[in-house]
Amino acid sequence: MASFVHSNINPGLFGKIFRLECPVDRVSFFREFDMMRDIYRVDLNRMFNNQKMKLECPKMAITPGVNSFRSTTSSTSNSTVHADTMSQTVSATWTTWVRDQYIYYYDVETRYEQNRVHAVWSVWTDDATRALYEGVADEITDGLRVSTEQMGQAFERVAAAGVSAGRAMQNLGDAVRRGQEHRIAEVDRITKMAEKRNAAEAKAKDLLLDIIGKDELVVYEETGRVFVKGRKHDYIVQREGFIQQIDKGKIQDLCASINKNKYPLTDNVVAMKLLIESDEDQFLEIANKQGSRKYDELPKAACM
Amino acid sequence: MGQMRIMGIEGDNKMTWDPEKLVETKAVKKHFENHVNNPDKKKRFMAFYVDKEGKQGKKMDVFDPKAGMIILVPPIAGG
């Protein structure tokens, strides 16, 4: 019952059908054999499909060989037929076709490649069916070649898209990393700048301390203002904001300064104080007038 | 001892000298001249000195080694 090994048909069931319906004469037997062959053809298709799967795999492992095939046979000695005891021999071999075949595969290192190999098609069949399946094999091989080529091209496109996507992801990762590094560097730079500015402001307060004294510096640190007496007017110099010129119940805002973005704010207070005290006319010449308003009470400020 | 405070980005830079020592005085005077008489008007500093008694600021154009404390102020502009 070797022929049923590759068949999908249950040999026990088939044997029953064979015994019940198959005539015992020789013609009927070969008709039955044709049916078996038809069934076997299905099996061969499965084998072709298996071979096709192997061909689609980069590593082919086809081991064709030559063998003899003892098929189910019959004898017509009497009207009683038992499939199990039939002894007629039909020779069958592994029939092999060798064709040029293009194999496409994608390798991580070598990338996409196309190689020409020998595709080996082997079927377990007898001489009678060999010719029939030879054509089928050619047809399947041709179809497989086309589908394999298409598959290879699809692999190539997928691989190219994968490489492109990988590069895009890498670029994105690099950009994110650069952004993070830039942000860290920026925070570090701002922190250092703030530290330098605070140190500069501390030195500027030391200078102001030498000019107005310790007690008034406490007031300045509280209010951020210094009262300055000029020859014509009195002024309130603020660490931040306009210089206030005090004049008969009215405050005139004036704007003059050293570069506040560059130098400490308290140095600006010192500079304005020195200029107003020494050369008020020059100060008034430099300063631009802004808004004015009446006041009821002057704000608190440090004074000498 | 004389003292000159030059305002800068990192706070004022303090220079001291002994009026009796010519070398020290010359070095400070050179700094004074470079700042106050800078050819570029936009970079020209103003010089003031503060007396110890009144602590009133007074303008100075010529370096005086015997001035109490000289303060060099960067250019002032109207806003």
CB atoms within 10 A of CB A193: 10
CB contacts < 8 Å between A and B, how many? 97
Measure A190 CA to nearest chain B CA, in Å.
15
CB A60 within 8 A of CB A149: no
**Higher-scoring residue by pLDDT: A271, A139:** A271
Nearest to A275 among B8, B56, B76 (CB): B76
Reported confidence tier of residue A162, pLDDT bands at 50, 70, 90: confident
Q: What is the mean pLDDT of residues B42-55?
A: 82
Q: What is the pLDDT of residue B4?
A: 93
- The mean pLDDT value for A190-210 works out to 92
Assess whether pLDDT exceeds 60 at residue A215: yes
Q: Do A274 and B50 touch (CB under 8 A)?
A: yes
Tell which wins on pLDDT, A142 or A38: A142
**Three-state secondary structure along A163-184?**
HHHHHHHHHHHHHHHHHHHHHH
Q: Minimum mean pLDDT among A146-160, A164-178, A227-241: which range?
A: A146-160
Mutate to test the interface with B, among A201, A207, A214 (most CBs of B within 10 A): A207
Q: Which of A3-12, A15-24, A216-225 has the highest mean pLDDT?
A: A216-225
Cβ separation of B12 and A267 shorter than 8 Å? yes
Q: How many CB atoms lie within 10 A of CB B75?
A: 16
Query: Which distant-in-sequence residues (6+ apart) come within 8 Å of A99 by Cβ?
Result: A118, A119, A121, A138, A141
Interval B44-63 mean pLDDT: 83
Which of B11, B46, B50 is the closest to A200 by Cβ?
A: B11
* Residues in CB range of A92: below 8 A, 6 or more apart: A67, A68, A69, A71, A124, A125, A126, A127
Contact across the interface for B74 and A273, Cβ inside 8 Å: no
Interface test with A, best of B1, B4, B7 (most A CBs within 10 A): B7
Predicted TM-score (pTM) above 0.80: no
